[in-house]
A and B are shown apart, each in its own frame.
Chain A
Amino acid sequence: MTTSIKKLPDIEQVLSGNGACGGCPATMALRIVGKALGSNAIMLLTPSCSVASMGMTPKLGYNWPGINICFATAGSSASGIAHAVEIMQEKGRLPGELPTIFSWVGDGGTYDIGFQALSAAAERNDNMIHFCYNNEAYSNTGVQRSGATPRGSFTTTTPTGKRQPKKNMALLMLEHNIPYVATATVAYPGDLYDKVVKAKNIPGMKYIEILAPCYLGWQFDMPETVQMSRMAVHSGAWLLWEAENSIISFNNPSSHIISGKKDADPVDEYVMKQGRFNRLLKGPDATQRIAEIQGDIDREIAFMRERAKIMI
């Protein structure tokens, strides 16, 4: 059972009046993460939208001690701090509970630029949580192509639509044999909350990826952020799963799609609602390009279904 909305704690770690766009899915997700982590945590931010959302000096929009670090160093910086707090506690310089070290990084800092340091941190199994809020492009710098951008999507560097499929980053992290990997999205806050609480109580490296539909990058209407996130899950374009010690279990409603109890919605509606796929739909080979996108999703569902059968 996921935690019901009424049982979520009152604590607010994202403060009103920060610099994020209205309807920003990243702050929406970070609020829920804040409720799960509580105030005893240290936040690391690589260059991303969330750094711009912090607001202007001398005010800070997040209620955590936060450090702005270089783009490629989310894994290594968090490792260093995780080791430092442990040693400080051993020497008696840090009273009380050990703070949770987490990095709040976009898909650029996880999939592309930050991958090397993150992979190394995962291999060392350092005690930290890596959050990737995935808006499927470099939205902070004006929507450029990233490793998370799906096939057919318009960005400023792929004006005719990206030709390659996105990579399955959560699965890559799972294959590092870390204790906990999970995917979540903003439309299911109870699910996200449970996953963060679980990750907080597991020692070692944890990776949580949150799909964050950015209305500016994806080109849909601002109030539809949560709807778009829900549609991504119902169409199978985003699968909700978690893996404890490499054993995958799917969460509702993705579990119904995986088990075959319910068919995934056709991707057409999800694609047509987003302006970033517009140019693809206007071309003469529109049906073929949509079939390619559907093919990517079907392959991913089939692959994850089989991967979850490995129970060792």
Chain B
Amino acid sequence: MKSVTKAYRPISWPMKGAGGDTGSWRTHRPVVDTQICTKCQLCWVYCPEAVIDRNEITIDYRYCKGCGVCATECPTGAISMVKEEE
């Protein structure tokens, strides 16, 4: 039997973007209105993708899948889902 070399070892390393640039899956992008935002951090805690910065409430659009959970859960309605342009 052929010996297994290092290159064939089935080991992965923790890295961002393990599923690719998942931002391309998005149909609607969440946009934060900083005027209304009270920084309650609810969007941060419910974001399944960990793309929201908890202090600045900025969103990493490279990986945001656009699920809209943040917009639904925002108590002040500061996050709106805007349709992505082609």
Query: Does A146 belong to the interface (CB within 8 Å)?
Result: no
Query: Does A59 belong to the interface (CB within 8 Å)?
Result: yes
Interface string of B35-73 (1 = CB under 8 A from A): 000001110111111110010000010110111110111
Q: Is B18 a contact partner of A55 (Cβ separation < 8 A)? A: yes
Closest chain-A Cβ to B53's Cβ sits at a distance in Å of 10
Assign chain A's interface to a size class. 35 or more
A16-B60, A63-B14, A227-B72 known; A24 vs B48 contact (CB < 8 Å): yes
C-alpha gap A20/B19 in the complex (Å): 8
9-residue interface stretch from A168-176, A217-225, A272-280, A282-290 = A217-225
Q: Which residues of B contact A18 (CB under 8 A)?
A: 18-19, 22, 49
**Residue of A at shortest CB range from B73?**
A226
Q: Among the listed A16, A59, A60, A223, which residue makes an inter-chain contact with B63, where contact means beta carbons less than 8 Å apart?
A: A16
B interface secondary structure, majority: loop
Q: Which residues of A contact B73 (CB under 8 A)?
A: 226-227
Q: Which residues of A contact B71 (CB under 8 A)?
A: 223
**Residue of B at shortest CB range from A65?**
B14
Closest chain-A Cβ to B36's Cβ sits at a distance in Å of 18
Interface string of A10-23 (1 = CB under 8 A from B): 10101111111111
For B18, B50, B72, the residue with the greatest tally of chain A CB atoms inside 10 Å of its CB is B18
C-alpha gap A44/B17 in the complex (Å): 21
Q: Which residues of B contact A12 (CB under 8 A)?
A: 50
C-alpha gap A65/B81 in the complex (Å): 36
Q: Is A17 a contact partner of B69 (Cβ separation < 8 A)? A: no
Query: Does A25 belong to the interface (CB within 8 Å)?
Result: yes
Q: Is B69 a contact partner of A19 (Cβ separation < 8 A)? A: no
Q: Which residues of A contact B51 (CB under 8 A)?
A: 16
Closest chain-A Cβ to B55's Cβ sits at a distance in Å of 9
9-residue interface stretch from A26-34, A78-86, A245-253 = A26-34
A16-B60, A22-B67 known; A5 vs B50 contact (CB < 8 Å): no
**Pairs A-B, 4 closest by C-beta atoms:** A55-B18, A23-B67, A22-B65, A223-B68
* Listed A/B pairs (8) with beta-carbon separation below 8 Å: A17-B19, A23-B68, A32-B45, A54-B12, A55-B19, A59-B12, A60-B15, A63-B14
